[in-house]
A and B are shown apart, each in its own frame.
Chain A
Amino acid sequence: MNLKRSLDAGGIVFPVLVGGRLLLALTNLSGALKRDHQLSSPLTSYLNLQEGIFLFKNGVDPYSGGVFRHSPLFLALFTTVLPASRTVSSIIWTLCDALGAWALVQVWRARQQVAKTSRDSLIAAAYLLNPYLFLPTLALSTSSFENTLALLALMFAARGDASRSLLAAALLLQFSLSSILLLAPLLLLLASSPVSQLASPRAFSANGKSITSFVAEFLAYTTVLTLASTLVSGGWAWIPQTWGASLTLPDLTPNVGVWWYFFTEMFDHFRPFFLMVFSVHLLIYVAPVCIKFQYDPLYAAFVLLGVLGTFKSYPSMADPGLFISMIAIFPEIFPCKHPIVTALLHLHAALLMPLFHHLWLNQGTGNANFFYATTLVFACANGAALTDCIWAGLMIAIGEPQEDYVVVQE
Chain B
Amino acid sequence: MDRIFARLRAPGDPNLARLQRRHAIVAALTSRIHLIKLSLFLVGYLWMAALPLPRLGRGTYIDENALQPGQVNTYWNWGDVANADRYLGQLEGLRDTNSTSQQRANVLMTEFMKIGISASTQKYKFSSSTGSIEGTNVYGILSSPRTSGTEAMVISASWISRTGEGNGTLNLRGVSTVLALANFLKRYSLWAKDIVFVISDNYVDGMQAWLTAYHGATQSNLQADELELTSGVIWTALNIDYPGHSFSHLGIFHEGINGRLPNQDLLNSFQFISKWTGGVPVLVYDHLESSQLEIPSWIPHALHEEIRAYEYRSKNVLRHIGYQARGRGSGVHGLFHQFRIDAFTMFGIPATGPHGFYAIGRIMESTLRTTNNLLERLHASFFFYILTAPERFLKIGSFLPSAVLISVAMMFGGLKIWSDAAWIPNSAAADPEKKDGSGPDGRRERWIQRNRPVIHVLGIILSTHVLGAILFSTLTNSWFINNQTIGSAWTFIVVSAIPLTALLVPSQDGRTMAPTSLLLKALNLCLASTVISITTVVNFSLAASLAIVLGIPLSISSPSRNLLMRLSKYGAYIALSLGWLFACEEVRKALWDWEILGVWFAPFVCIVFAPLVLQAGIVCLLPV
A-side interface residues toward B, CB under 8 Å?
A: 340-341, 344, 347-348, 351-352, 355-356, 359, 362-367, 370, 403, 406, 408
Cβ–Cβ contact B19 & A356, under 8 A: no
Cβ–Cβ contact B19 & A362, under 8 A: no
Cβ–Cβ contact A344 & B444, under 8 A: no
Cβ–Cβ contact A347 & B530, under 8 A: yes
Q: Which residues of chain B from 433 to 471 have any CB-CB distance to chain A below 8 Å in the complex?
A: 439, 442, 444-445
Q: Is B267 an interface residue (CB 8 A)?
A: no
How many residue pairs bridge A and B at CB < 8 Å? 43
Query: How far is B530's CA from A367's CA once the two chains are assembled, in angstroms?
Result: 22
Q: State whether A365 and B534 are in contact (beta carbons under 8 Å apart), knowing that A340-B418, A403-B444 are contacts in the complex.
A: no
Cβ–Cβ contact B530 & A348, under 8 A: yes
Query: How far is B411's CA from A351's CA once the two chains are assembled, in angstroms?
Result: 16
Q: State whether A365 and B384 are in contact (beta carbons under 8 Å apart), knowing that A348-B530, A359-B537, A403-B444 are contacts in the complex.
A: yes
Closest 8 CB pairs of A and B: A365-B383, A364-B340, A408-B15, A351-B534, A406-B19, A340-B418, A347-B530, A363-B260
**Chain B residues, CB < 8 A from A367:** 379
**Chain B residues, CB < 8 A from A406:** 19
CB closest residue in chain A, given B262: A365
Query: How far is B19's CA from A408's CA once the two chains are assembled, in angstroms?
Result: 9
Q: Is B95 an interface residue (CB 8 A)?
A: no
Nearest-Cβ distance from residue B519 to partner chain A, whole angstroms:
10
Cβ–Cβ contact A344 & B260, under 8 A: no
Cβ–Cβ contact A403 & B445, under 8 A: yes
Partner of A344, one of B19, B383, B530: B530
CB closest residue in chain A, given B341: A364
Which size bracket describes the interface of B in this complex?
Answer: 20 to 34
Bitwise interface map of B from 191 to 223 toward A, beta carbon under 8 Å scored 1, else 0: 000000000000000000000000000000000
Query: How far is B434's CA from A352's CA once the two chains are assembled, in angstroms?
Result: 46
Q: Is B502 an interface residue (CB 8 A)?
A: no
11 new A-B contacts, CB < 8 A, other than A344-B526, A344-B530, A370-B537, are A351-B534, A352-B534, A359-B537, A362-B340, A363-B340, A365-B260, A365-B383, A366-B383, A367-B379, A408-B15, A408-B19
Cβ–Cβ contact A364 & B530, under 8 A: no
Cβ–Cβ contact A403 & B442, under 8 A: yes
Q: Is B33 an interface residue (CB 8 A)?
A: no
Bitwise interface map of B from 528 to 561 toward A, beta carbon under 8 Å scored 1, else 0: 0010011001100000000000000000000000
Cβ–Cβ contact B526 & A340, under 8 A: yes
**Chain A residues, CB < 8 A from B260:** 363, 365
Q: Is B261 an interface residue (CB 8 A)?
A: yes
Cβ–Cβ contact A355 & B526, under 8 A: no
**Chain A residues, CB < 8 A from B411:** 344
CB closest residue in chain B, given A351: B534
Bitwise interface map of B from 502 to 531 toward A, beta carbon under 8 Å scored 1, else 0: 000000000000000000000000110010
**Chain A residues, CB < 8 A from B415:** 340-341
Q: Is B9 an interface residue (CB 8 A)?
A: no
Query: How far is B534's CA from A367's CA once the two chains are assembled, in angstroms?
Result: 17
Nearest-Cβ distance from residue A240 to partner chain B, whole angstroms:
35
**Chain B residues, CB < 8 A from A340:** 415, 418, 526
**Chain A residues, CB < 8 A from B418:** 340
**Chain B residues, CB < 8 A from A355:** 534, 537-538
Q: Is B377 an interface residue (CB 8 A)?
A: yes
**Chain A residues, CB < 8 A from B439:** 403
Nearest-Cβ distance from residue A340 to partner chain B, whole angstroms:
6
**Chain B residues, CB < 8 A from A364:** 340, 377, 379, 383
**Chain A residues, CB < 8 A from B533:** 348
Interface centre among A340, A341, A355, A403 (most CB of B within 10 A): A340
Bitwise interface map of B from 397 to 422 toward A, beta carbon under 8 Å scored 1, else 0: 00000000000000100010010000
Query: How far is B534's CA from A355's CA once the two chains are assembled, in angstroms?
Result: 9
Q: State whether A356 and B537 are in contact (beta carbons under 8 Å apart), knowing that A364-B340, A365-B384, A408-B19 are contacts in the complex.
A: yes
Query: How far is B340's CA from A366's CA once the two chains are assembled, in angstroms?
Result: 11
Query: How far is B377's CA from A340's CA once the two chains are assembled, in angstroms?
Result: 43
Nearest-Cβ distance from residue B363 to partner chain A, whole angstroms:
26
**Chain B residues, CB < 8 A from A356:** 537
CB closest residue in chain B, given A403: B444
CB closest residue in chain A, given B419: A340
